[in-house]
């Protein structure tokens, strides 16, 4: 009797069967992670598969942060850099012809050029940072050009282009000098020293290149092509112009009319006024109808010219005729 009263009062507890006890037991709360990495893993585990995949892709893309995008682009939508100063003859040389043939056989340029995007222009989409010859070859061949695309400033473009050209030895000293002169004239760098530091070049070589680039056009045009002018010729040519500007210009204009080797041009332009440096007389020989040499035209470093006829080339009866021809020529 007493036992029943205690049971009704809840003072006596009868254990439930094991199966019933498991069904009645409430779920245990999940333990919270105690570290930051653990919290991140807990967060990822609770997300959908799409969010997890997005996080994985984002992590992979971060590995390429700062890398240049390489694209195949239309070369007709690419313009030369405003700092580039390649002479036209650079695209007519055997070296360029060999490069173009190599690109033709490969079906495109294997080594990408580098360009930067242009904004707000209708005529072009990109400007070349470096790789002008590879771009020109693809343009000539009608092939797309493989290019790294990167946003760069004027200073970054100039330094990258100069570094690439010097490593490849792509530019002649005169062309290199034109680049440096333009950069200084347009205020890209405040001084020769700062320019040399920015591009990692020897200041002495920069100075020599600038000396060539500042020579008068007539002096440059006296050479078969500016690409043959050497760094160490600058001081002598500049000195000749300073000491005898009129005489040097006259010699340069006369030389430009004839085909001389680079060293002959240098000697003629830098010769003193009393030293006569003849041209290559083989190029100035006049032959008669039977193929024999009839006359020779020579020019001196002082700008004077002489015509020497071979023995018997001018008979006494034709001397008056020759006088009239010379008078008419001098007009």
- Kindly report, residue by residue over 47-73, the tens digit of the pLDDT: 555 565 666 656 654 554 555 678 999
Task: Cite the beta strand spans of the chain per DSSP E.
Answer: 69-73, 78-79, 113-117, 126-130, 145-149, 285-287, 293-299, 305-309
- Tokens standing for residue 256: 């430009």
d(CA 180, CA 85): 10
Of 92-96, 99-103, 212-216, 262-266, least confident by mean pLDDT is 92-96
Nearest CA to 119 among 146, 95, 149? 149
The overall average pLDDT reported for the chain is 79
Cβ atoms of 120 and 86 within 8 Å: the answer is: no
d(CA 141, CA 269): 41
Nearest CA to 204 among 226, 229, 173, 175? 173
Q: What is the CA radius of gyration of the chain?
A: 40
Model confidence pTM above 0.85: no
Give the start-to-end residue ranges of the domains of the chain. 68-169, 281-330
- Tokens standing for residue 249: 């210009």
End-to-end Cα separation, the chain, in angstroms:
157
Q: Which CATH fold topology does 68-169 show?
A: 3.90.1530
- Tokens standing for residue 124: 């072009």
pLDDT tens-digit readout, 77-89: 999 988 887 878 7
- Tokens standing for residue 197: 């530091």
Residue 12 has pLDDT above 70, yes or no: no
* pLDDT for residue 20: 45
Q: How many CB atoms lie within 10 A of CB 308?
A: 10
d(CA 94, CA 99): 9
d(CA 134, CA 78): 12
Residue 124 has pLDDT above 70, yes or no: yes
pLDDT tens-digit readout, 200-254: 889 999 999 999 999 999 999 999 989 899 999 999 999 999 999 988 998 898 8
Region at 125 (left for phi over 0; alpha for psi -120 to 50; beta for the rest):
alpha
Q: How many CB atoms lie within 10 A of CB 148?
A: 17
* pLDDT for residue 21: 46
d(CA 319, CA 20): 142
Which residues have a Cβ under 8 Å from the Cβ of 18 and sit 6 or more positions away?
A: none
Nearest CA to 326 among 253, 276, 255, 314? 314
């Amino acid at each position: 009797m007493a036992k029943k009263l205690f049971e009704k009062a809840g003072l006596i507890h009868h254990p439930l069967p094991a199966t019933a006890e498991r069904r009645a037991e409430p779920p245990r709360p999940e333990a919270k992670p105690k570290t930051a990495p653990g919290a991140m893993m807990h967060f990822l585990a609770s997300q959908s598969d799409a969010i997890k995949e997005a996080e994985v892709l984002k992590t992979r893309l971060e590995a390429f942060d700062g890398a240049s995008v390489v694209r195949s682009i239309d070369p007709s939508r690419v313009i030369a850099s405003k700092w580039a100063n390649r002479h036209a003859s650079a695209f007519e040389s055997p070296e360029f012809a060999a490069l173009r043939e190599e690109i033709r056989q490969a079906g495109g340029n294997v080594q990408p050029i580098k360009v930067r995007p242009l904004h707000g222009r209708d005529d072009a989409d990109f400007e070349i940072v470096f790789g002008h010859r590879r771009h020109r070859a693809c343009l000539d061949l009608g092939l797309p050009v493989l290019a790294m695309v990167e946003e760069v400033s004027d200073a970054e473009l100039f330094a990258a282009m100069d570094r690439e050209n010097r490593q490849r030895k792509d530019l002649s000293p005169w062309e290199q000098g034109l680049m440096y002169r333009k950069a200084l004239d347009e205020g890209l760098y405040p001084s020769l020293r700062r320019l040399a530091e920015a591009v990692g070049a020897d200041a002495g070589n920069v100075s020599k290149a600038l000396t060539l680039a500042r020579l008068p056009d007539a002096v440059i045009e006296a050479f078969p092509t500016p690409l043959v002018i050497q760094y160490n010729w600058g001081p002598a040519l500049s000195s000749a112009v300073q000491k005898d500007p009129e005489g040097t210009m006259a010699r340069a204009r006369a030389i430009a009319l004839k085909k001389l080797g680079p060293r002959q041009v240098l000697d003629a332009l830098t010769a003193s006024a009393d030293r006569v440096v003849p041209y290559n007389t083989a190029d100035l020989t006049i032959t008669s109808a039977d193929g024999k040499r009839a006359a020779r035209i020579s020019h001196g470093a002082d700008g004077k010219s002489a015509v020497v006829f071979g023995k018997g080339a001018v008979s006494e009866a034709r001397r008056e005729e020759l006088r009239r021809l010379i008078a008419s020529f001098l007009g």
